[in-house]
Structure 1
Amino acid sequence: MKSLRTLSPQLRRNLLVLFAAGLFFWSSLASLLPTLPLYVQAIGGSNHDIGLVMGSFAIGLLLSRRWLGQMADRRGRKIVMLIGMAAVAIAPLGYLLIQFIPLLMVVRAFHGLSIAAFAMAYAALVTDLAPDEHRGEIIGYMSLVNPVGVAFGPAMGGFLQEWLGYTPLFILSSGLGLLGWICTMQIQEPRIAAIESTLPPHPSTQSPEADQFWSLLLSPRLRIPTLVMLLIGLAFGVLSTFVPLYIKESQVALNPGLFYAAAAIASFGVRVLTGQASDHYGRGLFITMSLGFYTLAMSILSLATEAEMFLLAGVMEGMGSGILIPMVVALMSDRSFPHERGRVFSLCMGGFDLGLIIAGPALGFFAEQIGYRGLFQLAAGLSLLAVVTFLTQSSKDIPRSLRFAVGRDEDAYAIKASE
């Protein structure tokens, strides 16, 4: 917290308003996590239908990433955040009015645009505002909006649905999005063009190909983090779609919202500790730890028979996500300039989106064949593959990758390191 006190009053106010907007956003989105699969089931949807509807969220994410990333770099972060807030406020009203599966898929895809817009622009703006020497620490603190929102939202959504039904739930989710939109309107952002003009020349910015959105994907600095996010997106797609149904099928006396709350509380704790530490020990060590936690979480879920095991898996998943997302954001910040961060973040997080797209409908079909336990065994295998990939491919060769992944070497692709 010491580094935050060194910031100017205007910058601290900006960060505070930005933090409040993030809380409203994630609370709105997370309030539907434990309830929307049950809602689709309640209106007659099968496991495959549930997978299609939930997976459509990631379709909206992926299809909107490119133009939103370009817009964030060219027109600023704030307008993109406002688009995301508008989507998170409007989509719940669509769920309320529509009970036809194909149209629900359209609404869910529109809902996915919210994360593509808000989360990407939020991360880029926080990075723009953070001093280089405290980047990991401030990203860590500002990323707390996710676990706090995801702790409050699912518990609130689950209990409200049980108490009053789906209509008040969808109205509340929409109202939280509206409050977030109002907060976002108060934010002041730096001019990206001004930042860009102060940058020293760098080979990655001189090539016309490097300025092309999709060409960035194959660059050494992006491809392995994006692949790791794809594998974790596949695993997370299983978790986010099927945990409520798995708990129900297991006849365990546990509100699914408490699983997400346990994950969020664990996520909160590790973010406070690891953000500042990564400024000193590097991002690689903590990314490796996070992937290990994901593997443990999926393995525990594949064996869960009691509420305590589900909650332990939630804690492990929360620790994994609480470390992984801020560390990948910090890693991509280290490897990019301000004027390209919207595109870089969109591509890297797009790997996670693609995993969600594949996981929902494809694994929803397999759920009928191998059951929920089999799905989580598969998710554990995907998470383990992500660990192996990062350990061996995160730098220029296997020895350097291993050293970087365990915190014994610098990031070979960081902009500072190459200048």
Structure 2
Amino acid sequence: MMESQVKMSRLQKAALWVVAVAVFTDMLIYGMIVPIIPSYAKTLGATQAEIGFLFGSYAITLLLATPISGVLSDKVGRRLPMILGLFGLVAATILFGFANSFWLLIVARMLQGISAAATWTAGLALLADVFPLQERGKAMGIALSGQAIGMLLGPTIGGFLYQWGGYHLPFIFAAAIALIDGILRITLLHDEPKQDTEQRVSYRSILKMHSLFMIIGIIIIGAALPSALEPTLPLYLHNVLHVSSGTIGLLFAVPTLAYGFTAPVIGTLSNKLGRNQTMIIGLIIAALCFPFVTLVPNIITEILVLAVLGISFSFLLAPALPELTYLADKNGIRAYGTLFAIYNTAYSIGMFCGPTLSGSLSDLFGLTNTLYIFSLILLCYLGLFFLKIKKQA
């Protein structure tokens, strides 16, 4: 008994390292191309609309590949999809580095989305496999910190390496990081838990869990809110607060840092407060805070508002992941790959809806009124969420 307990502890540590580094690597390489690819694509004759499609193609393939990755993960285990995801990431990185036509860049970006689907779905499912429910919040919070750190460092490292060594250097660096990630995935994941073949469950069975839809809504909101600011807030900061482009980049790092630092803490805290109650707090904070993004008078208070927003994202997303697994366990379902495929799908929808909605509404009503509309949507969802909880009690 003692041996199995020690072995389990080692497996948990290995799984946490592998998934956190995998998520970090994926988001680091995702972000590294942001300051590089637009200008390079223009030299290949791409229009602004085509460059927009280039960036959006990642979300499209992530959305399409995620359900397949979930089913594959439940059938063959977590290790194989994560290793396949790595090969896809390496291939995408090399293709980016040596692409001599715009459509090769499209193929590389789509391949990046497919590899992310495999890595995220299998990785989160692996954490659910090896961590008991009461420890999943903290474990998944740490994994989400890897996501935040990768998103934070990616554009900075990519831009610096591009200036220092030209177009190819960032992709050589990215390939080296992917190689380290690959060594971790192959060596540390040799002892993954076996899958119960009798527990393969269809999407239809999982979607019969009605409580699941409220959590899916939380995930969509948690992805939509930060992405809603991306196409709109920079113009406000530049035109109203007269902030430079470099400072705008640093300001966007504030909620990412706040999210990265607080996600593990809030994931642990949610076990004491209750996961649903923690998500309610996140909805309240986000709804109250969102309009202040354009109401503050100076840069200091803007930093404070963005930091509080980042914390609210942790309150929303850190408990949502273990709550998904709790609902599955409660219904006798252990098809975690399929479950986290649903998470990835919801997150992709949020990433798409956030900027699309905020951009369209800002054209019609202005940015400040748009943020009020978002707050109203959050308060309406808060009411629905609260009623659902009361009904279940």
Q: TM-score, normalised by structure 2?
A: 0.79
Structure 1: how far apart are the matches of 2:18 and 2:98? Answer: 32
Quote how far apart the aligned CAs of 1:330 are: 0.9
Q: 1:320: which partner in 2?
A: 312
SS across alignment from 2:335: helix
CA RMSD of aligned residues (A): 3.8
Note if contact 1:28-1:174 (Cα within 8 Å) is conserved in structure 2: no
Confirm or deny that 1:340 pairs with 2:335. yes
Q: 2:213: which partner in 1?
A: 223
Over 3 Å counting, the alpha-carbon distance change for 1:214 and 1:399 in structure 2 is closer
Quote how far apart the aligned CAs of 1:267 are: 1.6
Q: 1:354: which partner in 2?
A: 349
Over 3 Å counting, the alpha-carbon distance change for 1:152 and 1:376 in structure 2 is farther
Structure 2: how far apart are the matches of 1:246 and 1:58? Answer: 26
For structure 2, the residue ranges without an aligned partner over 5 or more in a row are none
Structure 1 residues 293-340: Cα deviation after superposition (integer angstroms, max 9, x where no partner): 544665344457865466445424432333333211111011114632
SS across alignment from 2:322: helix
Quote how far apart the aligned CAs of 1:65 are: 1.2
Quote how far apart the aligned CAs of 1:78 are: 1.5
Structure 1 residues 35-70: Cα deviation after superposition (integer angstroms, max 9, x where no partner): 556665786766644442322211111101111010
Structure 2: how far apart are the matches of 1:246 and 1:44? Answer: 30
Quote how far apart the aligned CAs of 1:344 are: 1.6
Q: 1:258: which partner in 2?
A: 250
Over 3 Å counting, the alpha-carbon distance change for 1:41 and 1:293 in structure 2 is farther
Note if contact 1:57-1:108 (Cα within 8 Å) is conserved in structure 2: yes
Structure 2: how far apart are the matches of 1:162 and 1:91? Answer: 22
Q: 2:266: which partner in 1?
A: 274
Structure 1: how far apart are the matches of 2:376 and 2:45? Answer: 35
Q: How many corresponding residue pairs?
A: 382
Q: 1:82: which partner in 2?
A: 83
SS across alignment from 1:339: coil
Confirm or deny that 1:95 pairs with 2:96. yes
Over 3 Å counting, the alpha-carbon distance change for 1:333 and 1:38 in structure 2 is farther
Note if contact 1:54-1:108 (Cα within 8 Å) is conserved in structure 2: yes
Over 3 Å counting, the alpha-carbon distance change for 1:212 and 1:316 in structure 2 is same
Structure 1: how far apart are the matches of 2:357 and 2:53? Answer: 10
Q: 2:275: which partner in 1?
A: 283
Q: Which amino acid aligns with 1:190?
A: P
Over 3 Å counting, the alpha-carbon distance change for 1:10 and 1:76 in structure 2 is closer
Confirm or deny that 1:67 pairs with 2:71. no
Quote how far apart the aligned CAs of 1:343 are: 1.2
| Further displaced range: 225-234 or 335-344 | 225-234
Note if contact 2:83-2:182 (Cα within 8 Å) is conserved in structure 1: yes
Aligned positions of 1:128-277 closer than 5 A: 128-186=129-187, 187=189, 188-193=191-196, 211-214=201-204, 216-217=206-207, 219-240=209-230, 252-255=244-247, 257-277=249-269
Over 3 Å counting, the alpha-carbon distance change for 1:166 and 1:71 in structure 2 is same
SS across alignment from 2:246: coil
Structure 1: how far apart are the matches of 2:261 and 2:294? Answer: 25
Q: Which amino acid aligns with 1:354?
A: I
Over 3 Å counting, the alpha-carbon distance change for 1:398 and 1:139 in structure 2 is closer
Q: Which amino acid aligns with 1:284?
A: N
Quote how far apart the aligned CAs of 1:223 are: 1.6
Over 3 Å counting, the alpha-carbon distance change for 1:352 and 1:128 in structure 2 is same
Quote how far apart the aligned CAs of 1:393 are: 3.0
For structure 1, the residue ranges without an aligned partner over 5 or more in a row are 198-204, 206-210, 402-410, 413-419
Q: TM-score, normalised by structure 1?
A: 0.75
Q: 1:404: which partner in 2?
A: none
| Further displaced range: 92-101 or 259-268 | 92-101
Structure 2: how far apart are the matches of 1:102 and 1:35? Answer: 16
Note if contact 2:137-2:264 (Cα within 8 Å) is conserved in structure 1: no
Note if contact 1:77-1:125 (Cα within 8 Å) is conserved in structure 2: yes
Structure 2: how far apart are the matches of 1:90 and 1:305? Answer: 47
| Further displaced range: 306-315 or 154-163 | 306-315
SS across alignment from 1:190: coil
Structure 1: how far apart are the matches of 2:278 and 2:192? Answer: 30
